């Protein structure tokens, strides 16, 4: 299922929940369908409310050529819906992006082992994260800067996609290893198109690592490291992001994000 939240165009301010299926949105009351809507008549919101925590995993260089996998926390208040605009902070000189696939939890616990992780997962979504590139360039030498460079915020895909919908992208029997196919466009320019990538680490392993020291909660968001993205200054765009730029990102099976830089 592709779970979603939305407003009706003629009745804004009344968030509704539903399932997107075969081009239609089936509104539900939590249990049963109550109405059917055309996507042209709705505005998609972030598929979840404010999560209790957002963990962004990354590989950090501990010694030359040696890396460890760890995570930082992102400000949940800065997690927005697909068509929302994130303001361009005046202190940021070079604005970049990351593209992260993430899982959303439907149950919480501590010390979640990979063999039992499936029951904790509601589904997958993805995040378009905005990054202060100037700060990020110093992050390897000063890991504390990594959190600050990601504090601008992120947009969420309109759907949380349950695992059974993603069978054609699975590459491992554990049900948490995928081959993602993605495209990125800025002002109509193809930055990356139909790229393929599979992470070495599976999502269930991320859950185990994230739950070692404290219990995880219902609604938490846990994200893989970013999918590989070409350097924007070396691309046809020839620069980092500026106010007014239009960004469109698509990941097959998960959905699309459209954004205008504020």
Identify which of 155, 159, 3 has the alpha carbon closest to the alpha carbon of residue 82.
155
Whether residue 230 has pLDDT greater than 70: yes
Q: Is the pTM of this model over 0.85?
A: yes
Whether residue 135 has pLDDT greater than 70: yes
Mean pLDDT, residues 72-101: 90
Beta strands in the chain, from DSSP E residues, in sequence order = 2-8, 11-21, 24-28, 33-37, 42-44, 54-63, 66-74, 79-80, 95-105, 121-132, 153-156, 160-161, 180-186, 189-197, 221-223, 246-251, 255-260
Rounded Cα distance, 212 and 197, in Å: 27
Whether residue 226 has pLDDT greater than 90: yes
Average pLDDT, the chain: 92
Three-class SS state of 109:
coil
Question: Which band of pLDDT confidence, cut at 50, 70 and 90, is reported for residue 245?
Answer: very high
Domains in the chain, ordered, with CATH?
1-45 (2.30.30.370), 46-260 (3.90.850.10)
Whether residue 247 has pLDDT greater than 70: yes
What pLDDT was estimated at residue 136? 85
Look at phi and psi of residue 69 and say left if phi exceeds 0, alpha if psi is from -120 to 50, else beta: beta
What pLDDT was estimated at residue 79? 93
What pLDDT was estimated at residue 141? 66
What is the chain's alpha carbon radius of gyration, rounded to the nearest angstrom?
18
Question: Which band of pLDDT confidence, cut at 50, 70 and 90, is reported for residue 238?
Answer: very high
Q: Is 33 exposed, middle or buried (0-12, 13-18, 19+ CB in 10 A)?
A: exposed
Rounded Cα distance, 195 and 159, in Å: 21
Question: Which band of pLDDT confidence, cut at 50, 70 and 90, is reported for residue 53?
Answer: very high
Identify which of 236, 87, 212, 82 has the alpha carbon closest to the alpha carbon of residue 156.
82
Mean pLDDT, residues 254-260: 94
What pLDDT was estimated at residue 86? 80
Question: Which band of pLDDT confidence, cut at 50, 70 and 90, is reported for residue 89?
Answer: confident
Whether residue 252 has pLDDT greater than 80: yes
Question: Which band of pLDDT confidence, cut at 50, 70 and 90, is reported for residue 210?
Answer: very high
What pLDDT was estimated at residue 42? 94
Any idea which of 106-115, 143-152, 173-182 has the lowest mean pLDDT?
143-152
Three-class SS state of 26:
strand
- φ, ψ dihedrals at 38, nearest 5°: -85, 140
What pLDDT was estimated at residue 229? 95
Identify which of 131, 108, 143, 132 has the alpha carbon closest to the alpha carbon of residue 217.
108
What pLDDT was estimated at residue 66? 72
- Positive or negative, the Cα torsion across 212, 215, 218, 223? negative
């Amino acid at each position: 299922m592709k779970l979603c939240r939305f407003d009706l165009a003629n009745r804004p301010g009344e968030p509704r929940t539903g399932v997107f299926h075969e081009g239609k949105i089936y509104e539900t009351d939590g249990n049963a369908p109550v109405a059917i809507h055309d996507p042209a008549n709705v505005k998609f919101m972030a598929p979840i409310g404010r999560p209790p925590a957002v963990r962004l995993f990354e590989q950090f260089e501990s010694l030359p050529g040696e890396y460890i996998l760890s995570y930082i926390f992102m400000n949940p208040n800065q997690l927005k819906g697909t068509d929302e605009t994130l303001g361009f902070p005046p202190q940021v000189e070079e604005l970049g992006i990351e593209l992260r696939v993430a899982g959303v939890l439907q149950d919480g616990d501590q010390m979640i082992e990979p063999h039992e992780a499936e029951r904790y997962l509601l589904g997958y979504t993805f995040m378009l994260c905005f990054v202060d590139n100037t700060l990020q360039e110093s992050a390897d030498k000063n890991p504390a800067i990594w959190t600050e460079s990601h504090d601008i915020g992120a947009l969420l895909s309109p759907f949380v996609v349950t695992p059974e919908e993603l069978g054609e992208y699975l590459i491992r029997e554990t049900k948490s290893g995928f081959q993602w196919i993605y495209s990125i466009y800025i002002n109509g320019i193809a930055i990356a198109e139909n790229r393929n990538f599979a992470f070495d680490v599976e999502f269930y392993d991320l859950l185990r690592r994230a739950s070692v020291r404290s219990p995880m909660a219902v609604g938490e968001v846990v994200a893989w490291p970013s999918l590989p993205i070409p350097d924007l200054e070396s691309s046809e765009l020839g620069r980092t992001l500026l106010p007014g730029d239009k960004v469109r990102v698509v990941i097959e099976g998960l959905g699309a994000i459209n954004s205008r830089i504020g």
